[in-house]
Amino acid sequence: MKNWKNEAEAREEIKALVAEYYHSFKEQKKPFEPGDRVSYASRVFDEKEMLSLTDATLDFWLTTGRFADEFEKKFAEWIGVKHAYLVNSGSSANLLAFMTLTAPELGERQIKRGDEIITVACGFPTTVTPALQYGAVPVFVDVTVPQYNIDVRRLEEALSEKTKAVMIAHTLGNPFDLSAVKAFCEKHSLWLVEDNCDALGSRYTINGETKFTGTWGDIGTSSFYPPHHMTMGEGGAVYTNNAQLSKLILSFRDWGRDCICPSGQDNFCKHRFLGQYGELPKGYDHKYTYSHFGYNLKVTDMQAAVGVEQLKKFPSFIERRKENWAFLRERLSSLTDDLILPEPAENADPSWFGFLISVKKDSPVKRNALTAYLEERNIQTRLLFSGNLIKHPCFNQIRNTDAYRVVGDLTETDYIMEHTFWIGVYPGMTKEMLSYMAEQISAGVKALKGL
């Protein structure tokens, strides 16, 4: 048995072995060769994440703890908000953001069952799912190509006396027209929830002021799932500058309770047995008083420990994503007779999640044939999530009911469903990988045209 002098010495020796393990077995050493697998996304990490995770594991504090506290503080400082809270996924972040707006404390602005939420059908389902499950009514608006974001010309048409919020995502890092959407929300006293899960690090400028996406609206959400801009395995965040919303977010995340005691602490407020709440007897334990129908959506400290180190690397991740996107944009520019290449939104500085490509309607090339060609050559492709969400089996039981509403037609949404796909730009990609992808896309277009 090892005779350590103290715990600190033991930790350092264990961590030294972990670092050695990383360099021996996890560090990427084999250079890329054409034909090797090119994933659309992947974790980018080194021994520092593994050492931080080891530290948290040795603490054996299995729920939210010191690493979560550190991450929330540093993430809030970095993105530029007053309040940020970790959750167990980006989908949970969207659920929490939406449910926060159903709190009765919000008075006339409370979202109630039957109220409407303006959104899009071309996106990821968990931007919309919380509203449907609660009994609110999503109002679907078409998008534009090649930005792949909400068509802001349809906003006024989508408005009704029941509208309470706009909840939409910044598509693959490309910000939606925040200037128009924010002005619309302010004009009509609507909540704005920015699903920032695919756009962490993107910036947008309004009237000379530049801020990160996710911070322009009332609430922003992020995902830290492995393919995303940074990772902690599973994980996400909800953030806001609004003190009232901050308190509500924390309540809904932590079982719906009234108490603000940190995990593992009792009587933080010094009034634990002094209050009167609801119809409970006076002095009922405040730690077990529930003001909302909430959840337990917290993250573990082990996940947060990975995030602490990822956050330090994150500015470099953003730059690599931008460089990789620009490289593909330039290398594929000769294919515009057949392909529509993506364009950044006006007034935006995107932190790209992927590189979107649409095959033109009049091209002899077909999307499915091109993606099959690429997949056969070990290049991983993805469609733009749901394409048109309301055409999925999950809508079978509510299709053509008053559970949702569609404004106008969804022509561009359907076009994306049929003709669009994307490839990765994650920071672990090398120029050799990017060149291989560009070469194979070009070769695929020519082959499918019979050239």
Q: Nearest-CA neighbor of 314 among 69, 73, 34, 75? A: 75
**Does residue 401 carry a pLDDT above 80?**
yes
What residues are annotated to the active site? 228
Better pLDDT: 268 or 160: 160
Instruction: Measure the CA dihedral 34/37/39/43, to 10°.
Output: -110
Work out the pLDDT band at 266, boundaries 50, 70, 90: confident
Residues 6+ apart with CB under 8 A from 207: none
What long-range pairs does 76-79 form, CB within 8 A, spacing at least 24?
Answer: 76/239, 78/311, 78/314, 79/212, 79/214, 79/215, 79/220, 79/239
Q: Is the pLDDT of residue 28 over 90?
A: no
pLDDT, tens only, 426-443: 999 999 999 999 999 999
Half-sphere exposure of 404 (CA within 13 A, CB side): 26
* Cis? peptide before 146, omega within 30° of 0: yes
- Is a pLDDT exceeding 80 seen at residue 451? no
Q: What are the sequence ranges of the domains in the chain?
A: 54-303, 314-449
- CB burial class (10 A; 0-12, 13-18, 19+) of residue 17? exposed
Query: Is the separation of the CB atoms in 292 and 43 below 8 Å?
Result: no
Q: Residue 111 in contact with residue 164, Cβ under 8 Å?
A: yes
Which fold would CATH assign to domain 314-449? Aspartate Aminotransferase, domain 1 (3.90.1150)
* Mean pLDDT computed over 187-206: 98
The pLDDT tens digits for 365-390 are 999 999 999 999 999 999 999 999 99
Q: Which residues pair with 340 in a beta bridge?
A: 358
Q: Is the Cβ–Cβ distance between 175 and 148 less than 8 Å? A: no
Stretch 297-326: mean pLDDT: 98
Q: List the structure tokens of 39.
A: 């994933």
- For the chain, percent of residues with pLDDT exceeding 70: 100
* Nearest of 420, 415, 416 to residue 370 by alpha carbon: 420
Looking at residue 268, its pLDDT comes to: 78
**Long-range contacts of the stretch 241-248 (C-beta < 8 A, 24+):** 241/81, 241/82, 241/83, 241/215, 242/83, 242/218, 243/82, 243/83, 244/105, 244/106, 245/83, 245/100, 245/218, 245/219, 246/82, 246/83, 246/85, 248/100, 248/103, 248/105, 248/106, 248/292
pLDDT band of residue 237 (cuts 50, 70, 90) is very high
Indicate the CATH number of 54-303 among 2.30.42.10, 3.40.50.920, 2.40.37.10, 3.40.640.10.
3.40.640.10
pTM of the model: 0.97
Query: In this structure, are strands 191-195 and 137-141 parallel, antiparallel, or unpaired?
Result: unpaired
| pLDDT of the residue at 265 | 78
Phi, psi of 303 (to 5 degrees): -65, -45
What is the predicted pLDDT for the residue at 426? 98
pLDDT digits (tens, 9 = 90+) for 88-139: 999 999 999 999 999 999 999 999 999 999 999 999 999 999 999 999 999 9
pLDDT at 1 over 80: no
